[in-house]
Amino acid sequence: MTVTDRSHELINTAAQAAADKLAHDIVAYDVSDVLSITDAFLLASAPNDRQVKAIVDAIEESLSKELGAKPVRREGDREARWVLLDYVDIVVHVQHSEERVFYALERLWKDCPELDLPEEAKATRGKAEEHAKLRAAEEEAELDGDWR
C-alpha cells in the first residue's frame, strides 16, 4: 500500500499548521504497509503544555477549514502531554518534549518511509534539542548567580 493523495494533503496541511505554531521536530511516516488502520503518522512536539494545546488547536482548525476534515477521535487533551488526533487516514501525535524523548516514537517507526513535508515543517528539525540546550544554559546561569 501507499499513502493516498488525501493523506498527503492532510499530512501537509497539519504539518504546516504545526510549524506555524512553532512545533519542534515535525516528521511524518508512511505506516500504510505495517498498519491497516491508517496511512500515515505525523509527529510534532513542544516544550510546554500550553504550546502543545495551541499546536493541536491549530492543526484541527486548519484541517477543518481547509479540507473539511474533523478528527474521529481526540485523546490526551486534558493533560496536554501527548495529544492524539485520529483522522482515520492519518493520525497526529503532538507531544510534550519530555514525552517525545521518553516514548521515542521515531524508533518504533524508523523502518517506515519518511514523508516529504513543507519546508517550514522540515525547518523544525533539531529545534527540541536547541531548546533543551538553551534552557540548560539559562538554568546554569541562574545557579551561577545564586552561588555568588
Q: Cα(138)–Cα(120) distance, rounded to whole angstroms?
A: 27
Strand 82-86 versus strand 24-30 pairing type? unpaired
Q: Cα(3)–Cα(1) distance, rounded to whole angstroms?
A: 7
Q: What is the pLDDT confidence band of residue 78, given thresholds at 50, 70 and 90?
A: confident
Q: Which of 41-55, 100-114, 115-129, 133-147 has the highest mean pLDDT?
A: 41-55
More confident residue, 28 or 143: 28
> Residue 145 has what pLDDT?
66
Residue with cell 506555524: 20
Q: What is the pTM assigned to this prediction?
A: 0.88
Phi/psi of residue 85, each to 5°?
A: -115, 120
Percent of the chain with pLDDT over 70: 97
Answer yes or no: is pLDDT of 147 > 70: no
